[in-house]
Amino acid sequence: MATMTCDVVVLGAGPGGYVAAIRAAQLGKKTVLVERGELGGVCLNVGCIPSKAMINAGNLLEKARKAADFGLTFEGLKIDMGRLVDWKGGVVKRLTGGIALLCQKAGVTILQGTGTFTGPARLEVKTKDGTTVVEAKDAILATGSRPREVPGFAVDGKRVLSSTEALDLRAAPRRVFVIGGGYIGLELGTWLSKMGSEVTVVEMTGSLLPGQDPDLVKVVERSLKKRKVRILLEAKAKSWKDGEDGATVVVETKKGEESIACDAILSTVGRRPNSENLGLERIGVKVERGFVPTDDRCRTSIPHLYAIGDVAGEPMLAHKASREAVVAAEAIAGLPSARDWRSVASVIFTDPEIASVGMTEEQAKAAGYDPAVGRFPFAALGRALAINDTEGFAKIVADRKTDLVLGVHVVGPEACDLISEGALALEAGLRVEDLGGTIHPHPTLPEAIMEAAHALHGKSVHIAR
């Protein structure tokens, strides 16, 4: 059994793990990065990056179809999903190759294999060549998460798909049944609708995108209905059976059971942390509902073991994992780094896009604030009209007494890019007056944030009061 010694060992090479390894190495720590699969984890290989590549292709296809509105007509527009999947694979390969190069340049040693903790900072790693023991002074747990399975709908990669298999489809199924009206289900459901599939979405709760601002969700739901996506709320997929002409799913609805025919079943009911079979219980690490609790420096319940990303708790977002990675690496190096952010922005790549940071109006009320709200519709924005994309609005939630920005929410074109201004406003403790008083270039989409600030103060000149 071979043995390696180092200062820091990181288990998992997703957007948390590889960032932690590189940052630790930058700080002079001899670092080993252990990964059982591909570098980049779920996000780069089968999640964030490939899904957005495919979604972007769908958006481009729809823009081409709508271009006739302003005099551009494309004859013989075709979809070659096989070529699209190959292109997506090239994007992923380029990024994962880049991670390997960054690790090499930083001096990080990559060990391919499955790791199990036998001590707070000691890993036994099973590789293709045998077992290697990695003994370190500190360890970082960054094992991420995996899709949850719906009882009776085990993913088989043929009829029942997770997001992973959906992103490798080389032809759009004629009829797609989506279990789960959360962000993954709606992102992929919208994309497949643009690719030509008939889509049905079933959600157990009374609303799509549970937990999101209802005002934003209404805009997305209206858009889905325009695309003839069928939505069943307060409904549950009970069972399915295969047949000669596809599958049939039995759904329990408010009006009784209904059978729905489809060619593919897409299971998207959230994710669960990867904390099992890692030896955590053996070394005394506290685990709650699958998550590993940590303090503000990402330390677990035992010394010298840190946890970051999805396995460390909500929100299960790649950018949160990357930030925690920096905190953990710097904490190990003795720097005064901590999880002291005010809020983590979230983005949903539906059409239109949704992006939020901070509190909604209802959350602000529950926290004891007297919220004031300013909204500005993209339909009144010159840039949105010029690009023929006017659905949605920008909204600012603030404390009426102090004018402090409590939340920024956007549904509409390029919402994912606009939200960073809101995140900075919260992090910097800005007031609405600061956003409204900042001159935004014209004509641009970020003007919607400025105009929402003016609207909150009753000063907007571009919408009727």
Question: Residue 349: phi, psi to the nearest 5?
Answer: -90, 55
Which residue has 């299971």 as its token pair?
267
Contact in structure between 251 and 232 (CB atoms under 8 Å):
yes
Average pLDDT of span 176-190: 97
In this predicted model, what pLDDT tens digit does every residue of 290-315 receive, in sequence order? 999 999 999 999 999 999 999 999 99
Segment 423-435, tens digit of pLDDT = 999 999 999 999 9
Beta-sheet strands, E only, within 70-113: 109-112
Phi and psi torsions of 166, nearest 5°? -60, -35
d(CA 282, CA 227): 52
For residue 396, pLDDT beyond 90: yes
Give percent of the chain with pLDDT exceeding 90. 96
Domains belonging to the chain, first-starting first, are: 2-147+272-332 (3.50.50.60), 160-269 (3.50.50.60), 346-456 (3.30.390.30)
What pTM did the predictor assign?
0.94
User: Which residues belong to the active site?
Assistant: 442
Question: What are the pLDDT digits (tens) for 132-173?
Answer: 999 999 999 999 999 998 999 999 999 999 999 999 999 999
Closest listed residue to residue 348, CA positions, set 209, 452, 228: 209
Q: Which residues touch 334 (CB under 8 Å, ≥6 apart)?
A: none
Amino acid 1: pLDDT: 81
